[in-house]
Every structure is written in structure tokens, then in C-alpha cells.
Amino acid sequence: MAYQTLLTEISAGILTITINRPDKLNALNQQVLEELNLVLDEIYQDPVIKGTILTGSGPKAFVAGADISGFLSASSSEGSVLAKKGQDIFFRIENCPKPFVAAVNGFALGGGCELAMSCHYRIASENAKFGQPEVNLGLIPGYGGTQRLTQLVGKGRAMELMLTADMIDAAQALNMGLVNHVVPAEELIGFTRKSMEKILSKSPVAIEKVIAAVNANFDHTKNGYEEEVRLFGDCFGTEDMKEGVTAFLEKRKAIFSGK
Ligand code: COA
């Protein structure tokens, strides 16, 4: 499918999505959100797509936030609708049964930081910058940032970042666990692909269940330990589990079917 604001490219089962509004630092307007929702339909439904890398166009920005230009005319209820819409899309990324990794190539501010945080993990270029500067605008994060930043870096650091609107660099983000790796800009996509290739060599059935079990920790309607027991049990009897264990016993590399 062709998109106006997203570039998509698939190779060896890895879909790379590039948010493509470089003149606006890839800010998330309504069209970007709608197209992200559409590409998520593809990711969920298309068996050819095994994993996704999300990045931004140009050397400067991953995503510099929600598009501020439409904010002045919005009412309180429209603001809530916008937040709910963004949250629902970001939940689909977070709960995607296939791995979803952010390659953060520059500014990841406001909704951009929130988008990166909805991915399963983040790899940043050395020039990446992160922040939740909404209080500068008389706003708060609305796409899950108050929750996910707190989960990722702890309450004190999350509070400070959101209350001061301070921007942090990639090294600081690495230090507080907001990103997993920092690499030179020209190596960002290659490094992220390698990380994804490693995941795709494992059992897709098990990968899906790891994502679900970890996410259960942050879902107040679930008991994460009970979910782990259930998902662990579900692995037994799958072709992937039989193949993985048999391959180990036969001292060979497993070839997983994803069933
Ligand atoms: N929404 C809409 N447009 C945005 C944007 C956003 N969140 N962030 C950047 N842009 C636009 C700018 O308006 C500018 O457009 P123009 O050339 O038509 O004037 C273009 O992107 C380039 O941005 P500019 O501000 O000129 O780049 P810079 O290098 O001087 O500054 C930033 C970069 C990221 C520091 C600055 O753009 C910024 O603070 N952006 C807003 C960040 C923010 O508050 N995000 C949270 C939103 S809730």
C-alpha cells in the first residue's frame, strides 16, 4: 500500500517505516496518525511482515512531536479525542505480536518520544535528543508519555523530564534506560536491522508470548505472573517448541515454522 506521509520498505521480512515529513521534522499530524493505523493493519495481517523498524526521514528528526499547528482551534473534548486516538494507535504498536523497534535518528520530542516509547525497545543515533516539552505549550503528554516514561526511567526521572521540559541527549537517554544502544548515525539502520534479524531467527511463537507476558506487567487488568504461567503452558505442544527442543538435543540449529 502507498502512503503520503510514510515510506515503507520490506526486505527479508523486516518492514521499515520512515515517517516522511522532514520539512516539519516529521511532526505527527492527523494524516500520519491515520496512516500509521493503516500500516499497523498490514503488519498485524500480512504474514510476510515478521518485524518492524520505525524511523524518521532526514538527518535531523525522528519525530518532533504532535503537529502543534492544529492545536489552537481545538476544544477540550477535541483534545481528549486526539489523545485517545493517538493512545489507541500506540497501544497497537506496544501490543503488536511481532517485534517493533524504534531507530531514533534525531529529535524525539513530545509525541515523538511517546511513539518511540510505544515500540518494544529503542536504538538511538549519537545525535538523538529526547524530551517531553509539552508544559512549554501549556499541555501535558497525551499519547501515553506520562505512563510509559515512568515505566521506562522511573518516577523521579520521568517527573523531572516532564516538569522541566528538559531535553536529554542520547548518552543521557542510554544512561537512564530510555534507549538500549547508541550508535553513529550512519550505522543506525544497519545496527537496528541486525538486532531485528537476531530476533527473527528465534521462534515467532515464543517471541509473541514474551511480548504479551512483559506487557502484562503494565496492564492493570492482568496478573503478569498468571499470564506468564498461561503463556508458558501455551508454548508446550507448539511445533516451534518441539523443533527448538529437538534441535537442541540433536545439536543442530532450529528451523522454526512459527506454528
Ligand atoms: N509541530 C508542527 N511543526 C513543527 C513541529 C511540531 N511539533 N516541530 C517542528 N515543526 C516545524 C517548524 O514549525 C518548522 O516549520 P517551518 O519551517 O514551516 O517554520 C520546521 O518544523 C523546522 O523546525 P524549526 O523549529 O525551524 O527547527 P529548529 O532546528 O530551529 O528547532 C526543534 C527544532 C525540535 C527544537 C523545534 O522545532 C521544536 O521545539 N519543535 C517543537 C517540539 C515540541 O514542542 N514538541 C511537542 C509537541 S506537543
228 is catalytic: no
Q: If you average pLDDT over residues 35-40, what whole number do you get?
A: 98
What pLDDT was estimated at residue 164?
98
What pLDDT was estimated at residue 70?
87
Encode pLDDT of 48-104 as tens digits. 999 999 999 999 999 999 999 989 999 999 999 999 999 999 999 999 999 999 999
Cα–Cα distance list, 245 to 197, 200, 209, 229, 250 (Å): 21, 18, 17, 19, 9
Q: Nearest C-alpha to atom 42 of ligand 1 is from which residue?
A: 64
243 is catalytic: no
Q: Nearest C-alpha to atom 7 of ligand 1 is from which residue?
A: 65
Encode pLDDT of 192-241 as tens digits. 999 999 999 999 999 999 999 999 999 999 999 999 999 999 999 999 99
Which pairs from 192-196 meet CB under 8 Å and 24+ separation?
192/53, 192/55, 192/101, 192/103, 192/123, 193/14, 193/53, 195/101, 195/123, 196/14, 196/51, 196/53, 196/99, 196/101
Cα–Cα distance list, 71 to 13, 22, 66, 217 (Å): 38, 20, 9, 34
Encode pLDDT of 241-255 as tens digits. 999 999 999 999 999
What pLDDT was estimated at residue 96?
98
- Does residue 134 have its Cβ closer than 6 Å to ligand 1? yes
| Average pLDDT over all residues of the chain | 97
Atom of ligand 1 nearest to the CA of 137: 44
Question: Is a pLDDT exceeding 90 seen at residue 14?
Answer: yes
Per-residue confidence band for 1, with pLDDT thresholds at 50, 70 and 90: confident
What pLDDT was estimated at residue 101?
99
- Does residue 212 have its Cβ closer than 6 Å to ligand 1? no
Number of neighbours of residue 62 by Cβ within 10 angstroms: 30
Q: Which of 21, 24, 146 to mutate to test the pocket of ligand 1 (most atoms within 8 A of CB)?
A: 24
**Contact 134/113 with Cβ under 8 angstroms?**
no
- Does residue 66 have its Cβ closer than 6 Å to ligand 1? yes
Q: Which of 5, 24, 25, 137 to mutate to test the pocket of ligand 1 (most atoms within 8 A of CB)?
A: 25
**Contact 85/48 with Cβ under 8 angstroms?**
no
Active-site choice (35, 94, 134, 227): 134
Active-site choice (35, 94, 114, 227): 114
Which of 72-76, 161-165, 171-175, 207-211 is least confident?
72-76
Dig out the grid coordinates for 153 from the structure: 526511567
Residue 196 to residue 14: CA distance in whole angstroms? 8
Percent of the chain with pLDDT over 90: 98
Q: How far is the CA of 17 from the centre of ligand 1 (A)?
A: 21
Specify the pTM.
0.98
